[in-house]
A and B are shown apart, each in its own frame.
Chain A
Amino acid sequence: MEVFLVIGLMAFATFPIRVISISLFSGRALSPTLMRVLSLVPVAILSAICSPLIFQPFGKWDNPLTLIEFWAAIVCILFSRFGLLPSIFSGLSVYIIGSIFL
């Protein structure tokens, strides 16, 4: 029973944040400055999520040249000019192959 209480609690902790933000900002004419701020949100958030996983995969500073995560990210970035799929598959391939054999 406690398990389902925890599930309900977790749903209650996550759902209102999403509802409130979407509802609050929908259908409103936002100021140009706020629109500019919001336009930078995706790049800022996604970069902040990615960089520790690339440079600190074990939660501490390491020499990036010795990390397979770093090299996979480099390959992924190099292939990004060819589109989303080649970029993702090349990065993942380097990471999985590197993780298995190195």
Chain B
Amino acid sequence: MGSVVSTSKSSYESPNSIKAGIWAILPMLLGTAPFGVVFGVFALDIGFGFIGAQSLSSFVFAGSSQFVGVNLYGQGASLEIIFWTIFLVNFRHFLYGASLGPKLLGTSSRHRVLISFFLTDEAFAVVSKFKKVHFRYYWGAALAMYFNWQIWTGIGIFFAPYLKSIMAINFGFIIVPAFLAIIFQQAINKAARFCGLLSGFLALFLNSLPHQMGVIIAALISIFLTLLCESIFSPKDFNKRRYN
């Protein structure tokens, strides 16, 4: 397991295997399990019912967007507000898709439509370290995450009456160690480290913006400033990276 998960920093091409994708995302499954349980309890509590709560995870499959949507519905928000809020919360997936699209190997346009439904923060985090991604590897990671999310949502729904008492813990943090580990694996050069630090720093000041827009704005500003700094302070190095 270790050999598959701890892929070298200089990884160019992902393994061409479903199993490797599953192994790679395994630590993330652990991190998202509490979210799934909490979502099941939460959706049931708001009034989505057993089938509605499970259907949300099955047909929307968008983690934080699900929480936001259910919360808005519970507060009596209009359908337009729910739609546009979810759209904005999920907008970071545009950047994920843009980053992943050119890397995907051996996929038809129909196949890519299917693939995009299963694109999540976690699946993206696992495949993003590669410059080329085999679709089998992606499917392994993405489907493992999908079924993991369904199972834990189901557990949350069925055990909701017993689980409400443990919901005082701050579950928002549970996924952070997994993301941090990935950041530190990927930030292998000065530019990436600078970009990550700057983005994290800016996000603290933009955290109060609605619809998680702070995440997108912080990321875009930090990427822009990183490239600007590279071109000013180290143009030689910058050009070398651009054209090699």
Q: Is the CB of A7 within 8 A of B172?
A: no
Stretch with Cβ within 8 A of A (4 or more), from B12-20, B144-152, B192-200: B192-200
Q: A84-B181, A92-B174 are in contact. Are A47 and B55 (CB under 8 A)?
A: no
Q: Is the CB of B99 within 8 A of A56?
A: no
Interface residues on chain A, size class: 35 or more
Q: Please, which residues of chain B bring their CB within 8 A of the CB of A44?
A: 195-196, 199, 218-220, 222-223
Interface secondary structure of B, over-half rule: helix
* B100 part of interface (Cβ distance < 8 Å): yes
Q: Is the CB of B181 within 8 A of A80?
A: yes
A11 to B200, CA, bound (A): 29
Q: Is the CB of B226 within 8 A of A40?
A: yes
Q: Please, which residues of chain A bring their CB within 8 A of the CB of B215?
A: 45, 48-49
From B60, B100, B187, B242, A36 is in contact (CB under 8 Å) with: B242
Q: Please, which residues of chain A bring their CB within 8 A of the CB of B97?
A: 17-22, 24-25
A56 to B62, CA, bound (A): 23
A49 to B172, CA, bound (A): 10
Identify which of residues 57-80 in chain A touch chain B, using a CB-to-CB cut-off of 8 Å: 57-59, 69, 72-73, 76-77, 80
Measured CB to CB, the closest approach of chain A to B183, in angstroms, equals 5
Q: Is the CB of A7 within 8 A of B56?
A: yes
Q: Which residues of A contact B (CB under 8 A)?
A: 3-15, 17-28, 30, 32-33, 35-59, 69, 72-73, 76-77, 80, 83-85, 87-92, 95, 99
Given contacts A13-B83, A72-B176, A83-B2, 5 further A-B contacts (CB under 8 A): A10-B69, A14-B93, A38-B95, A51-B200, A92-B177
